[in-house]
Amino acid sequence: MDENMNGPAPNPSRKPRPPRRVMQAAAVVVLSAVIGSASTLVLAWAMVPTLFVSRSGQSSVGLQSTSYLGSSGHSGGTVNKTVNISMNNAVVQVAKKVTPSVVGVLNYQYQPNGNGINTLQEYGVGSGIVFSSDGYIVTNNHVVAGAAKVVVALYGGRRVTARVVGTDPYTDLAVLKIPPSDIGRQNVAQFGNSDTLQAGDPVVAIGNPGGLTFQDTVTSGVISATSRVMPVISAQSGQQIGQEAVLQTDAAINPGNSGGPLCNAVGQVIGIDSSKIVATGFTGMGFAIPINEVKVIASQIIATGHATHPAIGIEAESLSNFAAGSGPNVPVSNGVYVVAVTSAAARAAGLQKGDVIVSLNGKLVTGLSSLQMQLWNSYKPGDVVTLGVYRGHTKQSITLKLTTLPPYHPASASGSSGTP
């Protein structure tokens, strides 16, 4: 789904063929947490490696005083005035309410220590939010991906080893657990309702930009948009594995904010910060996973150790990906082209390679992201659906039972098609 984190370089032997996928809104180059290149327009993870401010331990960041000196207007010159500012405002109250439930999430991995020996070292730092007195914490999958050990830095500085309950690469979410004895009643966040958000609603982001050096940083802004379709990138492979409808905000989200809360004006968590666009000339374009989706995925992970997503059982790509004249001979320009049929149910229903899906239960399907979002937002495995399909110039209806999306395996991902 913020700047790059420095990690081990990708395996140079892996050279997947370039995908033909085209972003809907703009030509966006996607940068995962494990890739260190730059681009004109980059969607990058909000997780960073350990921050070293300077060799002396002193911050090199310039700080501007917030004191105010105003002119009195008298001929005698300038007179210092004291300006009383009330701090009892909404942002302050949200920060006081939510900050005790925000944690740092430290990803430890085995890395060379300079003597040819791999030792367990701090690899990256993200954020998380305590949402249950039982000790459950939600964060991003890319924050804990590849970790041999996960440590949680609690409010106040104490560190506790956490267990990874489960992860879901398709939504970039993960659930951790620490002993309930480490959670006080005042340290549990309250989730809100992301379905009621509107563009312009005020929000507050809290997290660890730059790592624990700047722990519990508070920024504020507004909801810029309530449903931006953005790619989901595998932290392991760097490849796009799906799309997700996310909240857009101009509240500052920086490296280390990943997994931290985006809150409404009354201190309810309405999103989990995950990514931002970083490029020259761009600012204030951060993204958060809506909390209503987080609730569903987190509850599934707690119950079974993983999340479950419905699927048709095909490999497919958007029809719009084909260059003019190179696609299938169908009378439409939008839809989903079936690259392969992978489930027995879909094959038994009559779905074939080369078919173009244009509707799901009567609702228009414009491309791969449209199909995936309709499936995930409205259906579950086992549901029976009817697809509108073009086979050449003949349109037909195919009814089938939805299957379960298989677990994501980075080694088998080609990056050229999706698996709805």
Query: Tens digits of per-residue pLDDT, 307-322?
Result: 999 999 999 989 988 8
Catalytic residue among 172, 216, 273, 355: 172
**Beta-carbon contacts of residue 420 (< 8 Å; ≥ 6 apart):** 311, 312, 314, 316, 336, 368, 371, 372, 375, 405
Helix locations, 235-358, DSSP H: 291-304, 344-349
Between 195 and 114, the more confident residue is 195
User: Integer distance in angstroms from the first to the last C-alpha of the chain?
Assistant: 19
Examine the pLDDT at 338 and tell me if it is beyond 90.
yes
Give me the catalytic one of 142, 224, 369, 417: 142
Task: List pLDDT tens digits, range 48-59.
Answer: 544 333 322 333
25: DSSP letter: S
In this predicted structure, what is the pLDDT of residue 158?
Answer: 92
Give percent of the chain above pLDDT 70.
76
Of residues 375, 378, 398, the one with CA closest to residue 387: 398
**pTM, two decimal places:** 0.76
Output the pLDDT for position 219. Answer: 97
Q: Which of 220, 224, 234, 258 is catalytic?
A: 258
Nearest of 63, 376, 379 to residue 232 by alpha carbon: 376
Alpha-carbon torsion 409, 293, 167, 9, what sign?
A: positive
Domains of the chain: 1-51+92-307 (2.40.10.120), 310-412 (2.30.42.10)
Say whether 142 is catalytic. Answer: yes
Residue 392 has pLDDT above 70, yes or no: yes
Active site residue 201: no
Calculate mean pLDDT across residues 383-409. Answer: 94
Let me know if 132 is a catalytic residue.
no
